[in-house]
């Protein structure tokens, strides 16, 4: 029995049911039952945060900006669109070529020198790179450019890959961030050359194409050795708002 002191000298007793539930993807976590007149929301968040920190779930949904970035994205979230100068366009091309060397031979097809490149500024410091009104790349603040999933499906080998097991697919497609156990479990897969703070394609057991674009919070080796906590932020996934936005007017 855990005792928690509240304001006005009230005491809230929280009873933890130690029954373990096995989630269908193969991980366990305790079911928490609260026996009290009321349960402040902050306490619920605290209990959930402890579960996420402990690594008992393969996906995390309490991360805020990352999984919500494109969850309900629409044209209304674009605050400005500007055609960039030739010098800025060259810097974008250079950054993309450095991040994805395999794209360099086809970069003239993706970002034609004579076609205007538009930068659309969106909420949460997100920038979209558009050519002919089609979103091709995005980044957050001054971070690395990441391809949209539609572009990645055209050039599937340009990004390093991490793989989640079959049971985690529906959680990734709901926008959940990826916990380390979801990558180290049977059916998961790690490319040990992947560094921390790097864009990656999120693959899934038994699926041919990437289902998400992620940004690593730790290196693949740390994901393997630590095996708890969030390994990859889920930036963009199939059927989110950006996927549905094939063109911006």
Quote the pLDDT of residue 72: 85
Which residue do the tokens 């390994």 mark?
231
Mean pLDDT of the region 215-223: 97
Beta-ladder partners of 215: 199, 233
Tokens of 29: 């976590």
Q: What is the dihedral of CA 58, 211, 147, 67, to 10 degrees?
A: -40
Q: How many CB atoms lie within 10 A of CB 133?
A: 12
Percentage of the chain with pLDDT > 90? 66
* The length of the chain, given as a count of residues: 249
Task: Show the tokens assigned to 240.
Answer: 């989110």
Q: What is the pLDDT of residues 138-178, one digit of tens each?
A: 999 999 999 999 999 999 999 999 999 998 999 999 999 99
Closest CA to 232 of 161, 154, 170: 161
Q: What is the mean pLDDT of the chain?
A: 80
Per-residue tokens: 210 = 């990437």
Six token digits for residue 174: 């709901």
Model confidence at 67: pLDDT above 50: no
The predicted model gives 206-225 an average pLDDT of: 96
Q: Is the pLDDT of residue 4 over 50?
A: no
Q: Which of 206, 110, 196 is nearest to 152 (CA)?
A: 110
DSSP letter assigned to residue 76: G
Instruction: Compute, in degrees rounded to 10, the torsion defined by CA atoms 17, 22, 25, 29.
Output: 30
Residue 249 — very low, low, confident or very high, per pLDDT cuts 50/70/90?
confident
The per-residue pLDDT for 68 is: 65
Amino acid 1: pLDDT: 44
User: Does 30 score more than 90 pLDDT?
Assistant: no
**Dihedral, 215, 195, 58, 43 alpha carbons, nearest 10:** -70
Q: What is the largest CA-CA distance in the chain?
A: 70
Confidence class for position 74, pLDDT limits 50, 70, 90: confident
Among 18-22, 95-99, 202-206, name the one with the lowest average pLDDT. 18-22
Residue 197 region, left (φ>0) first, then alpha (ψ -120 to 50), else beta?
left
User: Got the DSSP string for 95-156?
Assistant: HHHHH-GGGGGGHHHHS-TTSPEEEEEEGGGEEEEEETTEEEEEEETT---EE-HHHHHHST
């Amino acid at each position: 029995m855990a005792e928690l002191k509240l304001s006005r000298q009230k005491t809230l007793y929280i009873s933890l049911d130690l029954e373990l539930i096995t989630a269908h993807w193969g991980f366990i976590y305790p079911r928490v039952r609260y026996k009290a007149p009321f349960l402040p929301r902050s306490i619920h968040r605290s209990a959930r945060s402890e579960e996420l920190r402990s690594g008992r779930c393969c996906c995390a949904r309490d991360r805020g900006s990352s999984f919500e970035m494109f969850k309900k994205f629409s044209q209304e979230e674009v605050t400005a669109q500007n055609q960039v100068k030739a010098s800025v366009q060259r810097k974008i091309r250079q950054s993309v070529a450095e991040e994805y060397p395999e794209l360099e031979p086809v970069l003239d097809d993706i970002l034609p020198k004579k076609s205007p490149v538009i930068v659309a500024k969106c909420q949460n410091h997100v920038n979209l790179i558009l050519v002919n009104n089609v979103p091709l790349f995005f980044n957050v603040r001054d971070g690395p450019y990441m391809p949209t999933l539609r572009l990645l499906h055209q050039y599937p080998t340009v990004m390093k890959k991490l793989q989640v097991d079959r049971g985690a697919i529906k959680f990734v497609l709901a926008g959940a961030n990826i916990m380390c156990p979801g990558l180290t479990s049977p059916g998961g897969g790690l490319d040990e050359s992947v560094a921390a703070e790097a864009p990656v394609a999120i693959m899934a057991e038994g699926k041919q194409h990437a289902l998400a674009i992620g940004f690593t919070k730790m290196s693949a080796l740390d994901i393997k050795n630590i095996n708890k906590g969030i390994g990859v932020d889920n930036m963009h996934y199939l059927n989110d708002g950006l996927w549905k936005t094939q063109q911006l007017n």
